[in-house]
Copies of this chain bind each other. A is one copy, B any other.
Amino acid sequence: MDAVFSSLGDPTRRGILARLSEGALSISELAAPYDMTLMAVSKHVSVLEGAGLVTKEKRGRAAYVHLKAESLRSAATWIAHYHRFWEDGLDALGDVLNRMREDG
């Protein structure tokens, strides 16, 4: 899980995942919008691959990258565990608002 969370700590990598959610893209296609080397993007993809968040499918000379978001699930589960810590806050706010409505 370390690898998953660490991977998500970089905005470029989150951007890559976001774009992959619309379909697989090659490394160069992924790199196009960024003001950095193709190599840099390739490394980011490798990091994501290491975290199990994407897979690379070599097709000819191109390497297509596919989203594989199952790995996000453990992260989501971990975070979900803390859900009540912000929901409680919302509930408290809701209570206040309700009381204001009743009193007013």
Interface-side segment among A33-41, A55-63, A65-73, A94-102: A65-73
- Residues of chain B within 8 A of A80, CB atoms compared: 76
Majority secondary structure of chain A interface residues (helix, strand, loop or mixed): helix
What residue of chain B has the Cβ atom nearest to residue A17's Cβ?
B82
Q: Does A104 contact B (CB under 8 A)?
A: no
A85→B21 contact, CB < 8 A: yes
Q: Report which A residues bind B (CB closer than 8 A).
A: 1-3, 5-6, 8-11, 14, 17, 21, 67-70, 72-73, 75-76, 78-83, 85-86, 89
Mind listing 18 A-B residue pairs with CB under 8 Å?
A1-B14, A2-B9, A3-B9, A5-B5, A5-B9, A6-B6, A6-B9, A8-B9, A8-B75, A8-B79, A9-B9, A17-B82, A21-B82, A21-B85, A68-B85, A70-B86, A72-B82, A76-B76
